Structure 1
Amino acid sequence: MENKILIIEDNDQNLYLLTFILEKHGYEVFAARDGIEGIAAAGRVRPALILLDIQLPEMDGYDVARNLRANPALAEVPIVAVTSYAMAGDREKALLAGCTGYLEKPINPDTFMQQVREHLPS
C-alpha cells in the first residue's frame, strides 16, 4: 500500500505527466478516468494516496471525495485535489468535501513530488 498511488483524472496529458513523475520516483500508479471508476479502483487498490481531479465525467471530484470518505476502509486515505479550479473558495470547497490537500494545475514538475510527499503517510 505504501507505494501505491491512484490518479483519478480524465485528461490524457495530465494523467501522463503525473504518472511519469510518480513512476520515476518509484511509485506504483493506478489510473481511473472518471469518478465512478475511481471509487471502484480505490476499493480494489487500497492506495496510500489518491490524486483527484475535480472536473470529471459521471461524478465530480467533490462527490467522489465524499463517497470515499463514507467508506470506512478508505476514510483515512489522503485525497489531494489536483485541479484547475483556482477561484476564491475552491480550496475550501475541496477540503469540505473530504480532500486533505489541494494542488493547482498546471502542476510544477520541480515541486510536485515534494507536495505529494507531504500527504503520504510516514
Structure 2
Amino acid sequence: MACRVLLVEDNPASLELMRYLLHSGGYQTLLANNGQEALEHLSRALPDLVLTDIQMPVLDGYELLSHIRSNPRTRGLLVVALTAYSMPGDHERVIGAGFDGYMSKPIDPETILDELRHFLGRSAAGGTCGDLD
C-alpha cells in the first residue's frame, strides 16, 4: 500500500514539483493550497504524513498544526514543516511548536524522497509505507 502524503503549499510551482517528485517515488498525494484546505482534506481522510509550508494565507502552518494537534482524530498525525525559514532559531521554533520534523526550501530533488522515508520510518505508519523504493 502506497503512503499518502498531504502536501500543503500556496506556491503552485512548488506544489506541482513536490507532487511530481512524490508520485515518482510511489507516494499518493493530496494537495492543499493553504491550511484551511488541508483541514477539509483531513475531515475526509487521514494521510500518513502532512508536509506543510509555514507561511501561507488563510491558515498558516502553525495554525494548521494547532488545529491538527487539538483534534483527537488527527493529533497523532506525522506533520513535517517545509519552509524557507532558515534564520538562526527557526528550526528550534518549528520543532518547539510541535512539528515532527523540518525540511528546508528550496528542496533538493535528489534527496527529498530519502528525507520523507526518514520521517515515515520514525512513525507508526513507517512499517506500511516507509520502505518505498
- The answer to whether the superposition gives a TM-score over 0.5 is yes
**Residue in structure 2 matched with residue 51 of structure 1 by the alignment:** 51
Identity %: 38
Q: State the structure with more CA Rg.
A: 2
**Residue in structure 1 matched with residue 97 of structure 2 by the alignment:** 97
Matched residue of 1:119: which SS? helix
RMSD, matched Cα: 1.3
Query: Aligned runs of 1:1-122 on 2, under 5 Å?
Result: 3-120=3-120, 121-122=125-126
Q: Provide the C-alpha distance between the structure 1 equivalents of 2:45 and 2:79, rounded to a whole number of angstroms.
A: 14
Q: Provide the C-alpha distance between the structure 2 equivalents of 1:79 and 1:65, rounded to a whole number of angstroms.
A: 7
Shift in Å at residue 57 of structure 1?
0.3
Contact 1:63–1:97 at 8 Å: present in 2 too? no
Shift in Å at residue 80 of structure 1?
0.7
Q: Provide the C-alpha distance between the structure 2 equivalents of 1:2 and 1:98, rounded to a whole number of angstroms.
A: 26
Number of residue pairs aligned between Structure 1 and Structure 2: 122
Following TM superposition, where does structure 1 have runs of at least 4 consecutive aligned residues deviating by more than 2 angstroms?
Answer: none
Gaps of 5+ in 2: 127-133
Q: TM-score, normalised by structure 2?
A: 0.86
Contact 1:2–1:48 at 8 Å: present in 2 too? no
Q: Provide the C-alpha distance between the structure 2 equivalents of 1:17 and 1:35, rounded to a whole number of angstroms.
A: 19
1:90-119 Cα distance to aligned partner (Å, 9 max, x none): 112212222100000000011100101111
Q: Provide the C-alpha distance between the structure 1 equivalents of 2:117 and 2:77, rounded to a whole number of angstroms.
A: 13
Gaps of 5+ in 1: none
Contact 1:43–1:74 at 8 Å: present in 2 too? no
Shift in Å at residue 82 of structure 1?
0.5
Contact 1:85–1:104 at 8 Å: present in 2 too? yes
Contact 2:36–2:59 at 8 Å: present in 1 too? yes
Q: Provide the C-alpha distance between the structure 1 equivalents of 2:95 and 2:37, rounded to a whole number of angstroms.
A: 21
Q: Provide the C-alpha distance between the structure 2 equivalents of 1:40 and 1:29, rounded to a whole number of angstroms.
A: 15
Paired letter, 2:41: A
